[in-house]
Amino acid sequence: MSHPKLILSTVLGIIVFTGFVAAQQAQFMSPPPICDLKDPEQMRVWAEYGAVFISKDIKMPNTCIFDGQPAIDVYLKTTKLEALSISDLRTFKLRPLARQSLEKVFVKMQAKGGYRAVVRLCNTRKVGECTNDVNGDFALRNYKQTADNWTRNKVTFIANNGVKFTSDNPSNAQIVSVEVKSGEKPFMYSYAIPGASQHILGLAIDVKNGTGINGDSGYCETDCVKALADNYWYRTVRGDKYHFTYLGYPPEELRKRGLKTVQCDHEKARGLDQFIYWVPNISDYKGYENWPCKEVPWPL
């Protein structure tokens, strides 16, 4: 004896359930094959910087972490970059869509000072040391620049993090394994492992909207964030408030591609509620438990 209505509703139920499961699964990000997730350093790179791998404008590298400038040179030989010149400041290079969209941001922010209201003009918080110049490494970065940033700052991290290292000169792997347990802001939230920076890919800029001194926060806030987001630039490295990445898609598309928006407890506790980061939605990654960040709606 057949029950057509029952069969139909069962079939519909299966279709709806399957669709629901697919929609849920689609919200997790697939790891890019270039990252070996058994390697703790590469796992961290994917978890912390991995949003860039879904960028509409990415030329996918063949490695998660470049091991030196020769590998980057090989990559850049086949990677189209376009120059963006800003009148009295230097020319810098980005991927084509990233460059075009950043130019639109400068135009949109014209009333507030154009590029001067967006790009990082200064990389110091010391009074009197700011010059009216764009940092050489605010957009595209080479291996030495990423290594210098890491090396210069790891000494302070080692001294302050409260976790003893077995060596006076710990390896990057040792630092990566300790930083997530130290209770401090993880080191990688300000400095990329050498060769792993999003800046190498021509898809990232550091934004400093102001000097960052004398009561000026220096952070890109409401209008600046909106102008960047309208052109598909977003904060993507939790804790790195200066750093923006060209992802190339509107928010609903980013969720479909496996990203989620988070706000970090440490920043919220300091009244810094405005910082929302688009990060890979990885269900079982525990690396950032000591610097927890909660999923929040995208407010724009």
Residues that bind Zn ion (CB under 5 A): 206, 243
Q: Select 238 or 243, whichever has its Cβ closest to Zn ion.
A: 243
> Nearest to residue 292, comparing CAs of 254, 260, 271, 266?
266
The residue (of 48 and 206) whose beta carbon lies closer to Zn ion is 206
Burial of 252 from C-beta contacts in 10 A (0-12 / 13-18 / 19+): exposed
Nearer to Zn ion, 75 or 244 (CB): 244
Paired with 277 in beta bridges are 262
Distance from chain centroid for Cα 212: 21
What are the helix (H) ranges across the chain? 4-26, 40-49, 69-77, 96-108, 143-160, 172-179, 222-230, 251-256, 265-269
Quote the least distance from Cβ 16 to Zn ion, whole Å. 43
Q: What's the 3-state SS for 168-201?
A: CCCCHHHHHHHHCCCCCCCHHHCCCCCCCCHHHH
Helices (H) and strands (E) in the chain, counts: 9, 8
User: What minimum distance in Å lies between the beta carbon of 139 and Zn ion?
Assistant: 9
Q: 3-state class of 261 per DSSP?
A: strand
Specify whether the CB–CB gap between 140 and 246 falls below 8 A. no
Residue 41 or residue 240: which is nearer to Zn ion going by CB? 240
Degrees (nearest 5) of the Cα angle 281, 283, 38? 100
* 149 vs 263, beta carbon nearer Zn ion: 149
Q: Which is nearer to Zn ion, 76 or 255 (CB)?
A: 76
102 vs 108: CA distance, rounded Å? 10
Q: How many CA atoms lie within 13 A of 139 on its CB side?
A: 21
- Break the chain down into helix, strand, coil percent, rounded to 5: 40, 10, 50
Q: Which is nearer to Zn ion, 154 or 243 (CB)?
A: 243
Tell the smallest beta-carbon distance from residue 186 to Zn ion (Å): 15
Cβ 13 to Zn ion shortest distance, Å: 48
Angle at 224 between CA 108 and CA 132, to 5 degrees: 90
Cβ atoms of 202 and 94 within 8 Å: the answer is yes
Closer to Zn ion by CB, 65 or 255: give it. 65
Q: Which residue is nearest to Zn ion (CB)?
A: 243
As measured in angstroms, the least distance from the Cβ of 190 to Zn ion is 9
Closest distance of CB 207 from Zn ion, Å: 9
Closest approach, Cβ 198 to Zn ion, in A, equals 7
Give me the least distance between CB of 136 and Zn ion, in Å please: 13
